[in-house]
Amino acid sequence: MRNAWVIAKRDLGSFFNSPIFYVVTTVFLVIYSFIFFQILNFFSFQSLQAGQAQAMGMSLNLNEMVIEPSLQNMSVILLLIIPIITMRSFADEKKMKTFRLLLSSPIHLKEIILGKFLACMGVVTLMILISSYSVGFLFLLGEPEVGPIVTGYLGVILMAGCFVSAGIFASSLTDNQIIASVLTFGFSLFMWIIGWGAQAAGPVTGQILQYLSIVDHLDHFLKGLVETSDLVYYLSFMLFSLFLCHRVLDSNRWR
Rounded to an integer, what distance in angstroms lies between the CA atom of residue 235 and that of residue 245? Answer: 15
CB crowding 17-42: b at 16 or more within 10 Å, else e: eeeebeebbeebbebbeebbeebbee
Examine residue 18 and tell whether it contacts other proteins (CB under 8 A).
yes
- Tell which positions 74-103 bind other proteins, by CB under 8 A: 96-103
Is 95 in contact with 175 (CB distance < 8 Å)? yes
Among 55, 106, 143, 204, binds other proteins (CB under 8 A): 106
CB crowding 105-121: b at 16 or more within 10 Å, else e: eebeeebbbbbbbbbbb
**What is the x/- site pattern for other proteins, positions 39-78, by CB under 8 A?**
----------------------------------------
**What is the x/- site pattern for other proteins, positions 124-163, by CB under 8 A?**
----------------------------------------
Examine residue 105 and tell whether it contacts other proteins (CB under 8 A).
yes
Window of 4-12, 22-30, 126-134, 224-232 that interacts with other proteins by CB under 8 A: 4-12
**Identity at 153, one-letter amino acid code:** Y
Among 26, 42, 108, 178, binds other proteins (CB under 8 A): 108
Among 27, 65, 107, 215, binds other proteins (CB under 8 A): 107
Report the residue number, 199 or 254, with the smaller CB distance to other proteins: 254
Number of residues that bind other proteins (CB under 8 A): 24
Question: Can you give the binding site for other proteins, defined by CB under 8 A?
Answer: 3, 6-7, 10, 13-14, 17-18, 96-108, 253-255
